[in-house]
Chains A and B, each alone.
Chain A
Amino acid sequence: DSGVTQTPKHLITATGQRVTLRCSPRSGDLSVYWYQQSLDQGLQFLIQYYNGEERAKGNILERFSAQQFPDLHSELNLSSLELGDSALYFCASSAYGTDTGELFFGEGSRLTVL
Chain B
Amino acid sequence: GQQVMQIPQYQHVQEGEDFTTYCNSSTTLSNIQWYKQRPGGHPVFLIQLVKSGEVKKQKRLTFQFGEAKKNSSLHITATQTTDVGTYFCAARMDSSYKLIFGSGTRLLVRP
Contact = CB atoms under 8 A, between A and B. Distances in A.
| Chain A binding surface SS class | loop
A102 interface: yes
Contacts of B100: 45
Contacts, number: 61
Interface string B45-78: 1001010000000000000000000000000000
Interface residues of B, number: 24
| Chain B binding surface SS class | strand
B25 interface: no
Contacts of A99: 30-31, 92, 96-97
B42 A43 contact: no
Interface of B: 1, 30-31, 33, 35, 41-45, 48, 50, 88, 90, 92, 96-104
